[in-house]
Amino acid sequence: MNLPIYMDYHATTPVDPQVVEAMLPYFTEKFGNPASRQHQFGWIAEEAVESARNIIAKAIGAEPREIIFTSGATEANNLAIKGIAEAWKQKGNHIVTAATEHKSVLDTSKKLEKYGYQVTYLPVDEYGLINLNHLSEIITSKTILVSIMTANNEIGTIQDVGAIGKLCHGRGVFFHTDAVQAIGKFPINVQTMNIDLMSLSAHKVYGPKGVGVLYVRSINPKVKLTMQMDGGGHERGIRSGTLNVPGIAGLAKAVELVVGLMDVETKRMKNLRDKMWNEFQSQLDEVYLNGHPTQRLPNNLNVSFLNVEDNALMMSMKDVAVSTGSACSTVDLEPSYVLKAIRVSKERHHSAIRFGLGKFTTEEEVDYVINRVVESVKKLRELSPSYYKQKRVVNV
């Protein structure tokens, strides 16, 4: 076992060696531009891109022409929301999302508000789930888009995406979901789930950073988007820019691998995750799970250790890489807006640690992390006046 141990797989993942192998030829001998259709170098690159399109489409139940390559999920989210807002502004100006969405959805929505769009930010319950009845009530004739993430990147809560999609389609509203954390964790089918737009990212599934996908439904209903980057009309006129062929080849291989190993890996990660949680509960008091107890990602564990500051706990075990929340919000020193949205207490809020397991996490590493966390929490609590006072009162 090598130190430090990585348990921040929600932030990013190491690139699978098989993915690297799939990418390598497109850096050197197969370096052509897929838009160069006058010669063999371009044809070979285009063939790689179209092969990737087929692989990704098959994995999510889509058609290859519905796969649009982007620089990542942040761009995909921006393109989906702004693209719908601009293309359908004659129909309406109302967008619905949730308070616990990724910043690339929330900040994009706030930007649109400055241009006269009305955005409803749905509250969530104590587990992070939206209320479908509430969603139904706030959809109006002016609503053009609902954007709800499939699985939350901080607390792991999984929304009932199929029910949300069915509701949206029944009301004639487009449905977009950020499925970055969900792909490869459980089956996703854009047809049966009534998804019109879906964002994916390579670096969350053991692929390279800087490449992602926006799925855009082409029929029943046909989704029309206004492109947000001009210049060249690439990707069916939806997203201009020279395609990242090595990244796209890597993304396709990564998706193929995680979907192929999904059943085995999901069970394995869930068992390791549950082992951690059970040991924390048995060896420590005042530990609380944040997020839904069962309807959550198999590799996610967000725990509050009361009377221990989150940053102090992380600093006390520098040989373990964990986090206090989203890697996309690290410049913000404010407490997690996701934990705030599920209304955890101030004490739980400031003592929350997110553990993210992955395909390279071993049981030996999990055992080591359990021991380090328990040891560190006990040591820090000994130095905590509030914990000492609390235990003294209990003993009396």
The rounded distance, in Å, linking the Cα atoms of 83 and 97 is: 15
From the list 284, 328, 370, 374, the catalytic residue is 328
- Using alpha carbons, list the distances in angstroms from residue 92 to 86, 137, 138, 139, 332: 10, 17, 14, 11, 33
DSSP output for 283-304: H-SSEEE-S-SSSB-TTEEEEE
Q: Are strands 287-289 and 212-216 parallel, antiparallel or unpaired?
A: unpaired
- Using alpha carbons, list the distances in angstroms from residue 281 to 309, 316, 370, 375: 18, 20, 11, 14
Residue 149 contacts residue 200 (beta carbons within 8 Å): no
Any bridge partners for residue 323, and if so which?
Answer: 354
In the block, residue with structure tokens 């900040």: 107
Any bridge partners for residue 370, and if so which?
Answer: none
Which three-class secondary structure state does DSSP give residue 67?
Answer: strand
The rounded distance, in Å, linking the Cα atoms of 246 and 84 is: 29
Any bridge partners for residue 176, and if so which?
Answer: 147, 197
The first and second tokens of residue 244, run together, are: 């990242």
Strand arrangement of the beta sheet that strand 67-70 belongs to: 67-70, 212-216, 197-201, 174-178, 143-147, 94-98, 118-122
Residue 217 contacts residue 83 (beta carbons within 8 Å): no
The rounded distance, in Å, linking the Cα atoms of 343 and 97 is: 18
Q: Please name the helix (run of DSSP H) or strand (run of DSSP E) that holds residue 314, with its range, or none.
A: helix 310-316
Instruction: With CA atoms as reference, report the closest residue to 167 among 102, 122, 116, 101.
Output: 122
- Residue 328 is among the residues annotated as catalytic for this protein: yes
Catalytic residue IDs: 328
